[in-house]
Chain A
Amino acid sequence: MNRPATESEYLASLVPASAGRSGFSRRSMLRGSLLAAGLPALLAACGDGGSGGSGGGGGGSQVTLGSNFSDEVPLKTMNAMVEDAQKKQGISIKLNTVDHTTFQNNINNYLQGSPDDVFSWFAGYRMQFFAAKGLASDISDIWGTIGADYTDAFKKASTGEDGKQYFVPTTYGPWAVFYRKSLWQERGYQAPQTLDEMKTLAAQMQKDGLVPLAFADKEGWPAMGTFDQLNMRINGYQFHVDLMAGEEAWTDQKVKTVFDTWKGLLPLHQTDSLGRTWQEAASGIVNKTSGMMVIGSFIGQQFDEADQEDIDFFNFPEVDPAVGADAVEAPIDGFMMSKRPRNEDGAKKLLEYFGSPDDGVVQTTNDPSGIAANTKSDQSHYTELQKKCAEFVANAKSISQFMDRDTRPDFASTVMIPSLQTFISNPNDIDGLCSQIESQKKSIFAS
Chain B
Amino acid sequence: MSSPDLPLVAPQTAQPAPSGGSHQGTGKKQRVRRLSGRDRVAVVLMVAVPTLVVVGLVWLPAIASVLLSFTNWDGVGSLADVKVIGLQNYTDVFTNYPPFKPAVQHNLLWLVVMFVVATPLGVLFAVLIDKELKGSRFYQTALYLPVVLSLALVGFIWQLMYSRDQGLINAVLGTQVDFYGDPKWNIWAALFATCWKQVGYVMLLYLAGLKGVDASLKEAAQMDGANQVQTFFRIVFPVMRPINIIVLVITVIESLRAFDLVWVINQGRNGLELIATLVTANIVGEASRIGFGSALATIMLVISLVFISIYLWVVMREDER
Interface residues of A (CB under 8 A from B): 7, 10-11, 14, 104-108, 112, 126, 133-135, 218, 220, 271-276, 280, 409-410, 413-414, 417-419, 421-422, 425, 436, 439-440, 443-444, 447
Nearest CB of chain A from residue B83's CB, rounded to whole Å: 7
Interface string of B77-121 (1 = CB under 8 A from A): 100000101001000100011110000000000000000000000
For the A-B complex with A272-B182, A444-B289 known, give 18 more contacts whose Cβ atoms are closer than 8 Å. A11-B152, A104-B285, A104-B286, A112-B75, A218-B266, A220-B267, A274-B270, A276-B164, A280-B165, A410-B288, A413-B285, A413-B286, A418-B269, A422-B98, A425-B183, A425-B271, A447-B74, A447-B83
- Decide if B130 is an interface residue (CB 8 Å cutoff): no
Interface string of B279-321 (1 = CB under 8 A from A): 0011011111100000000000000000000000000000000
Q: Contacts A104-B286, A418-B99, A439-B96: A273 and B77 contacting too (C-beta < 8 A)?
A: no
Q: Contact between B269 and A413 (Cβ–Cβ < 8 Å)? A: no
Number of interface residues of B (CB under 8 A): 40
Q: Measured between alpha carbons, how far is A297 from B121 in the docked complex, in Å?
A: 51
Nearest CB of chain B from residue A119's CB, rounded to whole Å: 14
Q: Contacts A220-B269, A447-B83: A108 and B75 contacting too (C-beta < 8 A)?
A: yes
Q: Contact between B286 and A276 (Cβ–Cβ < 8 Å)? A: no
Between A and B, how many residue pairs show CB distances below 8 Å? 104
CB neighbours of B281 from chain A (8 A): 413-414
Q: Can you show 18 pairs from A to B with CB atoms below 8 A apart?
A: A14-B152, A105-B285, A106-B284, A107-B286, A271-B178, A272-B182, A274-B178, A274-B181, A275-B178, A280-B165, A410-B286, A413-B285, A418-B99, A418-B270, A422-B98, A439-B96, A440-B92, A447-B83
Closest 8 CB pairs of A and B: A275-B181, A409-B286, A272-B178, A274-B181, A410-B287, A105-B285, A275-B178, A413-B287
Q: Measured between alpha carbons, how far is A341 from B70 in the docked complex, in Å?
A: 35
Q: Contacts A280-B165, A443-B92: A414 and B289 contacting too (C-beta < 8 A)?
A: yes
Q: Contact between B164 and A410 (Cβ–Cβ < 8 Å)? A: no
Q: Contact between A105 and B164 (Cβ–Cβ < 8 Å)? A: no
CB neighbours of A276 from chain B (8 A): 164-165, 181
- Decide if B179 is an interface residue (CB 8 Å cutoff): yes
Interface residues of B (CB under 8 A from A): 72, 74-77, 83, 85, 88, 92, 96-99, 150, 152-153, 164-165, 176, 178-183, 186, 260, 266-267, 269-271, 281-282, 284-289
Q: Contacts A107-B286, A280-B165, A421-B270: A133 and B181 contacting too (C-beta < 8 A)?
A: no
Q: Measured between alpha carbons, how far is A237 from B285 in the docked complex, in Å?
A: 28
Q: Tell me which of A10, A417, A422 contacts B152 (CB under 8 A).
A: A10
Q: Tell me which of B92, B179, B181 contacts A273 (CB under 8 A).
A: B181
Q: Contact between A414 and B76 (Cβ–Cβ < 8 Å)? A: no
Of all chain B residues, the one with the shortest Cβ separation from A426 is: B183
Nearest CB of chain A from residue B209's CB, rounded to whole Å: 27
Of all chain A residues, the one with the shortest Cβ separation from B286 is: A409
Q: Contacts A10-B152, A413-B281, A439-B96: A218 and B181 contacting too (C-beta < 8 A)?
A: yes
CB neighbours of A220 from chain B (8 A): 267, 269
CB neighbours of A422 from chain B (8 A): 98, 270
